[in-house]
């Protein structure tokens, strides 16, 4: 078990030594307090996890992580000419939408799981983490896409009927507004 943990700590330490703005702050903190940046990061993640379990506003933080960050990087993806990043984020949003619908119907479970917001936030991070087989790719390719392909025609039929019905209602309402007649 400790070999697995050490492997994760080594990978995290390597990531924390890459050149970027966030790691500059970790470097400054490491020099200022004399603690390795990997331990600072683990400490911050532990505090965040504890707050997500016990603190107020965990739902807001979960939404910022699961919606705010992906929306921001999706906008960046739209501004590039690469189709690959668009596909990555569209896959995330489809997975997020399916999870949100499922989550709505399981809302009563929230009161029984003391660390629900932490688990949900970790799930959403797993869905967009920048690796080839992140959660959204796995869930989309193994569950969502096969279900969609199997049921596409039926879903399209239902949506077309609903659109026709809505168009008919809108036309009737517009006609009544123009003529001033009501039944």
CA 94 to chain centre: 10
pLDDT tens digit sequence for 29-85:
999 999 999 999 999 999 988 888 888 888 899 999 999 999 999 999 999 999 989
* Strand ranges in the chain using DSSP code E only, listed in sequence order: none
| Residue 32 burial (10 A CB sphere; 0-12, 13-18, 19+) | exposed
DSSP letter for each residue of 63-96: HIIIIIHHHHHHHHHHTSS-HHHHHHHHHHHHHH
Give the C-alpha distances (Å, rounded to integers) separating 66 from 117, 130, 162, 174. 11, 14, 31, 40
Is residue 124 pLDDT above 80, yes or no? yes
Confidence grade of residue 10 (pLDDT, cut at 50, 70, 90): confident
Record the tokens describing residue 183, joined without a space. Answer: 């039944």
Task: Quote the pLDDT of residue 39.
Answer: 92
Task: Quote the pLDDT of residue 147.
Answer: 95
Record the tokens describing residue 141, joined without a space. Answer: 């390719």
pLDDT tens digit sequence for 129-169:
988 899 999 999 999 999 999 999 999 999 989 888 888 78
Task: Quote the pLDDT of residue 106.
Answer: 81
Confidence grade of residue 1 (pLDDT, cut at 50, 70, 90): low
CA terminus-to-terminus distance, the chain: 74
Task: Quote the pLDDT of residue 179.
Answer: 67
Percent of the chain at pLDDT above 70?
96
What is the CB neighbour count within 10 angstroms for residue 40?
Answer: 16
Q: In what helix (H) or strand (E) does residue 48 lie, and over which residues does it extend?
A: helix 37-54
Question: pTM here?
Answer: 0.75
Q: Which whole number is the average pLDDT over 86-109?
A: 91
């Amino acid at each position: 078990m400790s070999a697995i943990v050490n492997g994760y700590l080594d990978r995290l330490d390597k990531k924390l030594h890459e050149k970027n703005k966030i790691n500059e702050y970790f470097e400054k903190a490491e020099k200022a307090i004399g603690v390795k940046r990997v331990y600072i990061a683990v400490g911050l993640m532990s505090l965040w996890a504890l707050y997500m379990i016990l603190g107020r506003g965990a739902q807001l933080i979960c939404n910022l992580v699961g919606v705010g960050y992906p929306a921001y990087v999706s906008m960046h993806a739209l501004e590039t000419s690469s189709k690959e990043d668009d596909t990555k984020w569209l896959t995330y949003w489809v997975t997020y939408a399916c999870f949100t619908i499922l989550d709505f119907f399981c809302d009563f479970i929230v009161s029984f799981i003391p660390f629900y917001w932490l688990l949900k936030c970790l799930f959403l991070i797993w869905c967009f983490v920048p690796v080839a087989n992140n959660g959204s790719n796995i869930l989309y390719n193994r569950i969502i896409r096969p279900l969609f392909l199997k049921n596409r025609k039926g879903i399209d039929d239902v949506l077309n009927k609903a659109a026709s019905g809505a168009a008919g209602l809108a036309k009737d309402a517009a006609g009544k507004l123009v003529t001033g007649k009501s039944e």
